[in-house]
Amino acid sequence: GWPIRLTTSRADLKTASDRRNLARAFLSQGAPAMLLGVHLCGTLSLRAVDIFNEAPSLFHLALKPCCLPGIMHAQRGEVFEVGGHLFPACRVCAAGKWRRGKWVGSASRVEVESKFACWADHLFLGVNVDDEGAKAKEQHVVQDSWFQNTFVFASRPFSAELPESVKQYHAWREATAADLSTDPFTNLSTLQAPRGAPSSADGNRSVLKEGVGGGRSGE
Q: Is the pLDDT of residue 48 over 80?
A: yes
Looking at residue 153, its pLDDT comes to 98
- Over residues 162-175, the pLDDT tens digits come to 888 888 888 888 88
Query: Contact 123/150 with Cβ under 8 angstroms?
Result: no
Least confident range of 46-55, 96-105, 204-213: 204-213
Residue 79 pairs with which residues in a beta bridge?
A: 88
pLDDT of residue 184: 59
Of 19, 11, 9, 6, which Cα lies nearest the Cα of 55? 19
Residue 40 near residue 182 (C-beta atoms within 8 A):
no
Print the domain residue range for 88: 1-219
Q: For 15-19, what is the mean pLDDT?
A: 89
Pairing verdict, β 150-155 and 58-65: antiparallel
Average of pLDDT values for 7-29?
A: 87
- Residue 208: what pLDDT? 32
**Who's near 60: CB < 8 A, 6+ residues apart?**
34, 35, 153, 154, 155, 156
Q: Is the pLDDT of residue 203 over 50?
A: no
Q: Contact, 198 vs 17, CB < 8 A?
A: no
Q: What is the pLDDT of residues 24-46, one digit of tens each?
A: 888 888 899 999 999 898 999 99
Asked whether the predicted pLDDT for residue 84 surpasses 80, the reply is: yes
Closest to 124 measured CA to CA, from 159, 94, 85, 163: 85
Among candidate residues 36, 43, 56, 37, the one with its CA nearest the CA of residue 87 = 43
Q: How many domains does the chain have?
A: 1
Res 156 pLDDT > 50: yes
Task: Express each pLDDT in 110-144 by its tens digit.
Answer: 898 999 999 999 999 999 998 999 999 998 887 77
**Nearest partner of 172 among 24, 47, 50, 13, judged by Cα:** 24
Radius of gyration for the chain, computed over Cα atoms and rounded to the nearest angstrom: 20
Q: Is the model more confident about 203 or about 186?
A: 186
